[in-house]
Structure 1
């Protein structure tokens, strides 16, 4: 049994960021003069340089949070499940991470809810290592293989498990290996520590540019997600504990207002214009041109509205039920795992 035998190849460095280092919209030079101190909101994310978080980064860099009177502080870690643990331990107020965790937590009796959907698709791919590509052409070929994920208990592991099970491979026959994202994921492929893996941009483009991997499942678009999973799978969302939402409704509305404005900005600008707003070190590893191309290829993953994807919760529940024993056979009130009320109250302009 190899299920939980994982090589910890990523260094789980935790970096506390006040906004985005070196570019916070709340700096004295750019912040508007306010009569009262900004409201502090603490958020955690995993692997912040992933393109999944562009709406969050833009809300900081374009000053959208500051205009709402918010001081949004971001803690960056390497494991998605760790971000939710931090939230439940009250080390942060909320998480910008995959919606699926809300269903997983609800099945365990923990009440959390997403308040805005930033991605309408996962923005992920599963790749086979280049020298294994002839024998690994789909998830059906992963029995006995080491599969790289960004973190145990995170959404990449959820999807790796489902893709295996959906393609006839028992979940306990794939060996998840925690390799985080970016350079550590690339190194794992390069040194044959993993045979395949699930990751996001810009790590995908790094692997392809170095001819280290070949895409076998592409979930960077709604259509690709439908083909791979048999339904929608809403990705990155903003989640808070339900009790925190109920006691901080005005603050939640301000955060959602800023993020909706960020999503609208994305819809109105090109991949190159969006990249121009990113910190240079976000695309240093692959180069700006490749970063732009990667973003252009998956720009449809961003939600145009922030609303929950139609049938998204039901589809995610179905996926999780296929392999997650804490979800399978349990009753989950999906309506309590998300809310559209804040997005619906954002001014139209």
Structure 2
């Protein structure tokens, strides 16, 4: 005997229909699965440099992941290389010096800083111990070879400005790109450069070994104002404006992660911060690293905001010698925004 549909109890039909309806409603009411976080690549002009420490520290503290971000930090020895990677679309952002946003605007490239790490450069103009008697100020660099991380880098901008302010035109000395860290130390010790600009922890290492002396110190606000005439926003996170317009949510999350990191830094000692850092960044001499970090702490902002007088100071420096900037109209409002850091809750 065949079992036709007519033999199936009507009550069962009703139960099945009700069950199907409830499942359909449940599917409609259930939230859609959140898309996997977009992988963001950020180029850092040297992940082990203390001027860029907030990038690595944010990663170590888990603040990117807490924001639902999948961030990969890549390292290049100079900011100019990171800038080129960003313009080519290989990375979404760069942790480098703010002054690149001004230089790029003269080339028709719209780039914005969205978080400021350093209210001052954190750079130090060192003079080799063998040249210290002959070079007592930037007015004495005529005929000398001055080390910078790379031509077109922020160290070259600042070196030229300091020399010009001391009355020495750029044609009266030689800029030699020597990189950073070990290559800079080697150039100084071998006498290939008479003086040079670098950051921590390289500064402390050369001072501790007696291979160099401080000529100009821009690791704090007072020293920077004396050298440059104002605060000089330097290490920062900048992105292309087109990316920013298309990814405001990711930008806001990055801003929150970095502002939380800056707040952490101002609430903890150099020893506590160093304890969070990977061994390869700290190096073999932990005491030296902590000492260098302690000397660097005054340069960091606490809130990621652009200092009020900062952009004008940077523009003044670049306009003094950079032919691409000199005499050009620069719309500083297009080079940074405090929008995202302003939205970070206390």
**Native 8 Å contact 2:50 2:296 kept in 1:** no
Distance in 1, Cα, partners of 2:172 & 2:103: 22
What residue number does 1:306 align with? 304
Distance in 2, Cα, partners of 1:235 & 1:177: 22
**Native 8 Å contact 2:42 2:92 kept in 1:** yes
Deviations 1:300-338 (A, max 9, x none): 101011000111001100011011000010000001100
Distance in 2, Cα, partners of 1:193 & 1:54: 29
1:178-217 counterparts in 2 under 5 A?
178-217=177-216
Distance in 1, Cα, partners of 2:95 & 2:245: 18
Deviations 1:4-59 (A, max 9, x none): xxxxxxxxxxxxxxxxxxxxxxxxxxxxxx96423211111122210012111111
What residue number does 2:251 align with? 252
What residue number does 1:82 align with? 81
Most deviating of 292-301 and 211-220: 292-301
1:1-349 counterparts in 2 under 5 A?
36-285=35-284, 287-348=285-346
Q: How far did residue 252 of structure 1 move?
A: 0.5
What residue number does 1:28 align with? none
Aligned length: 314
TM-score under structure 1 length normalisation? 0.88
* Aligned partner of residue 240 in structure 1, secondary structure: strand
Distance in 1, Cα, partners of 2:171 & 2:104: 22
Deviations 1:94-126 (A, max 9, x none): 100000010111122211010010111111100
Distance in 2, Cα, partners of 1:260 & 1:208: 32
**Native 8 Å contact 2:270 2:293 kept in 1:** yes
Unaligned runs of 5+ in 2: 1-32
Aligned residues: CA RMSD: 1.1
Distance in 2, Cα, partners of 1:317 & 1:39: 34
Stretches of 4+ moved more than 6 A in 1? none
Deviations 1:252-294 (A, max 9, x none): 0001110000001001100110011111222325x11111111
**Native 8 Å contact 2:47 2:55 kept in 1:** no
Bigger fraction of residues in helix: 2
Q: How far did residue 130 of structure 1 move?
A: 0.3
What residue number does 1:16 align with? none
Most deviating of 166-175 and 96-105: 166-175
What residue number does 1:21 align with? none
* Aligned partner of residue 322 in structure 1, secondary structure: helix
* Aligned partner of residue 161 in structure 1, secondary structure: helix
TM-score under structure 2 length normalisation? 0.89
**Native 8 Å contact 2:44 2:76 kept in 1:** yes
Unaligned runs of 5+ in 1: 1-33
